[in-house]
A and B are shown apart, each in its own frame.
Chain A
Amino acid sequence: MKGSGKASVLPGFGLSLGFTVLYLSLIVIIPLASVLIKTAGMSFSEFWAAVTNARVLAAYKLSFLTAFFAAAVNAVFGLLVAWVLVRYRFPGKRLVDSIVDLPFALPTAVAGIALTSIYAPTGWVGSLLEPLGLKIAYTPIGITIALVFIGLPFVVRTVQPVLQDLDKDVEEAAVMLGAYRWRTFRRVILPELIPPLLTGFALAFARGIGEYGSVVFISGNMPMRTEIAPLLIMTKLEQFDYAGATAIALVMLLISFSLLLLINYMQWRYSRRVQAG
């Protein structure tokens, strides 16, 4: 039985909880509140104008679309990578497994300059595609590729444990009923993987919307075309348009928090079904 606060035999509840709450208040809650306080100081029409002008809308659209496509690509390939890591043997598997975490551990600025140098017209890949008329750097496609890099571990790492713990019985039952691999995968295995895939997708998506460092180099930052929302905030700050920056930030925060709640909800529902099943 866990300690129940007051009557527990374990010490340190007050101290640990108190410190935790204090830390959170100072570092998280109060600073975040400043966004609300600042926007409260604006009139509604000012606020509305700040968040709905054409340039801002273009930035939102760009951030959302690129994050969405990148997360979708990661959903497909992340599933593939997780499958291959869990189900097959091949030389160097452990090494490959470690590499999947690189985007998670690598500073975003480093990723940014590396990706730009590869996909710029003079880069390793960019120079191959240039003669075909395909531009990657300084276009939304480049942004999407950077976001694919960033989001991959989220999908792989949410799918992997679920795949690993899959009941062998159920696949055997399908086999005994006459099903071969593709049908077994489609009707028995894949439905089990949809929840973690959705969670991974949402995580990658949320991360992609707010991503700055790995995108800001490859995007070229042309307003209305390749200017992502976080960069727009940065630009407004440099112009001392605090109100404008904050307004945009508030909208992004609201969306991010909604996504966070959605993710937590999905995970809660999934764990409930798993227990009942």
Chain B
Amino acid sequence: MRIEVRNVTKRFGSLKAVDNVSFTIGEGKLIGLLGPSGGGKSTLLRMLAGLETPDEGDIILDGKRVNDVPPQKRGIGFVFQNYALFRHMTVYDNIAFGLEVKKAKKEEIRERVEELLELIGLQGLASRYPHQLSGGQRQRVAFARALAPRPSLLLLDEPFAAIDAKVRKELRTWLKEMIERIGITSIFVTHDQDEAVEVADEMLIFSNGRLEQQGSPVEIYRHPKTPFVASFIGESRMLQHPERLIGFEEAVGQGGKSAIIRPEFVEVGKERELSYPLSAQRGVVRQSFFRGAHLELEVEVEGNRLIAYRSLDREPLEPGAEVLVFIHRLYVLDGTSAVLVENPLKTDPMPVHI
């Protein structure tokens, strides 16, 4: 299903939950709506489903304006955060529900339910009741139930929020595989960055009801377009005095612009360890944290507190140690846009690891 959202606004009282949002989504894509709580993502999802109506703007599915089409007729599958399984019906009856509504024949229904039970790996649990299942199993049943009537679009509202952290990762990988196997256009809402980045082909970042940016995870990471996206994505930090960092005096300038930095942009070490020691600055390690896979250092450079990673292969650095710091790049924030500025004092660009 092709989706087009045009200038959609939704108000609750005087609050604009969704503020003049427009975007298009192509056929067969797996899209993540990401953003902090209250950002409008769930409201938008529910408007696509027909569970809410836009106050302004149009929702166009497969070329048809559907604002006035009731949710029952839209051919959309919906997976809820708290599963919303029919608790007095068995797993079988839950999955069969949508097909019964369509008045499918018993044989057809049985075939389809068994097909789905196999797909979700819960064969043999058909006569169990929801309260006899674990959280992960319930969500899988919810998924199968939504898919049973063969919808053209699948919507998932924070599908893993109610699930244990451990099961969450497995379930998320499983979901991505399933959706790719079936090939259905899918949109899910999440506030968890890792989840969005891992699962989605394309991300839409929302904040305060506005669409901040649309793009692939890599694109959004490397080229955030607005201050919000730059600070929301990755482990970003606002710099207190960016103009004091060597190489960026001009870029930041006297205009008092802000800048955002990420740990992967910062190189810290002794002189012999650095790529561009001649352009580096002096800094002092303030704190050092063991993070399992690497060491995390908090380094102060000219009044700026930076986070940097240090490989465990190298000699550990203790608080108080004097080090050299080289900043590879920064995001400079200019009003409503964020610009990636490379450090002009290096001649070879360093490969970027995300």
Do chains A and B directly touch (beta carbons under 8 Å) in the complex?
Answer: yes
Give residues in A with beta carbon < 8 Å to B. 167, 169-170, 172-180, 183, 187-188, 191-192, 273, 276-277
- Interface membership of chain B positions 92-121, coded 1 if the CB is closer than 8 angstroms to chain A and 0 otherwise: 000001100110000000000000000000
- Chain B residues with Cβ below 8 Å from A183 are 101
Closest to A277 in B: B87
Interface hit among B5-13, B77-85, B202-210: B77-85
| Contacting pair B98 A187 (CB below 8 A) | no
Contact pick for A173, options B76, B86, B88, B102, CB 8 Å = B86
Give Cα A175 to B51, complex, Å: 9
Given contacts A277-B130, A277-B131, contact A176 B146 (CB under 8 A): yes
Contact pick for A178, options B82, B85, B131, B149, CB 8 Å = B149
Min C-beta distance of B150 to chain A, whole Å: 12
Min C-beta distance of B105 to chain A, whole Å: 16
Give Cα A173 to B130, complex, Å: 15
- Chain A residues with Cβ below 8 Å from B84 are 167, 169-170, 172-173
Closest to B148 in A: A177
Min C-beta distance of A170 to chain B, whole Å: 5
B307 CB-CB contact with A under 8 Å: no
| Contacting pair B72 A170 (CB below 8 A) | no
Contact pick for A188, options B86, B130, B131, B148, CB 8 Å = B86
**Can you name 17 A-B residue pairings with CB atoms under 8 Å?**
A167-B84, A170-B87, A172-B84, A173-B86, A174-B86, A175-B71, A176-B72, A177-B97, A178-B73, A178-B98, A178-B149, A179-B72, A179-B101, A187-B97, A188-B86, A191-B88, A277-B130
| Contacting pair A192 B88 (CB below 8 A) | yes
Min C-beta distance of B71 to chain A, whole Å: 5
Shortest beta-carbon contacts, A-B, top 10 = A169-B84, A276-B131, A177-B98, A277-B87, A178-B101, A176-B78, A173-B84, A191-B88, A178-B72, A277-B131
Min C-beta distance of B98 to chain A, whole Å: 4
Min C-beta distance of B153 to chain A, whole Å: 11
Contact pick for A170, options B86, B101, B146, B148, CB 8 Å = B86
Min C-beta distance of A133 to chain B, whole Å: 46
Give residues in B with beta carbon < 8 Å to A. 49, 51, 71-73, 76-78, 80, 82, 84-89, 97-98, 101-102, 130-131, 142, 145-146, 148-149
Q: Which secondary structure characterizes the binding site on chain A? A: helix
Additional pairs, 16, CB under 8 Å, beyond known A173-B84, A187-B89, A277-B87: A169-B80, A169-B84, A172-B51, A172-B80, A172-B84, A173-B85, A174-B86, A175-B72, A176-B71, A176-B76, A176-B77, A177-B98, A177-B149, A178-B72, A179-B72, A183-B101
Give Cα A276 to B88, complex, Å: 11
Given contacts A172-B51, A172-B78, A276-B131, contact A178 B86 (CB under 8 A): no
Give Cα A191 to B51, complex, Å: 23
- Chain A residues with Cβ below 8 Å from B146 are 176-177
Min C-beta distance of B182 to chain A, whole Å: 17
Contact pick for B49, options A169, A170, A176, A273, CB 8 Å = A176
- Chain A residues with Cβ below 8 Å from B77 are 176
Min C-beta distance of A194 to chain B, whole Å: 9
- Chain B residues with Cβ below 8 Å from A173 are 78, 80, 84-86, 142, 145
- Chain A residues with Cβ below 8 Å from B89 are 187
> Among the interface residues B73, B97, B146, B149, which one has the most CB atoms of the partner chain A within 10 A?
B97
Min C-beta distance of A254 to chain B, whole Å: 33
Closest to B93 in A: A187
Min C-beta distance of A162 to chain B, whole Å: 13
Give Cα A230 to B166, complex, Å: 64
Give Cα A192 to B51, complex, Å: 22
- Chain B residues with Cβ below 8 Å from A177 are 97-98, 101, 145-146, 148-149
| Contacting pair A187 B102 (CB below 8 A) | no
Min C-beta distance of B241 to chain A, whole Å: 49
Give Cα A175 to B74, complex, Å: 10
| Contacting pair A273 B72 (CB below 8 A) | no
Min C-beta distance of B90 to chain A, whole Å: 13
Give Cα A213 to B73, complex, Å: 56
Min C-beta distance of B132 to chain A, whole Å: 8
Min C-beta distance of A271 to chain B, whole Å: 13
Give Cα A192 to B86, complex, Å: 10
Give Cα A106 to B246, complex, Å: 86
Give Cα A183 to B82, complex, Å: 22
Min C-beta distance of A4 to chain B, whole Å: 30
Give Cα A180 to B145, complex, Å: 17
Give Cα A277 to B87, complex, Å: 6
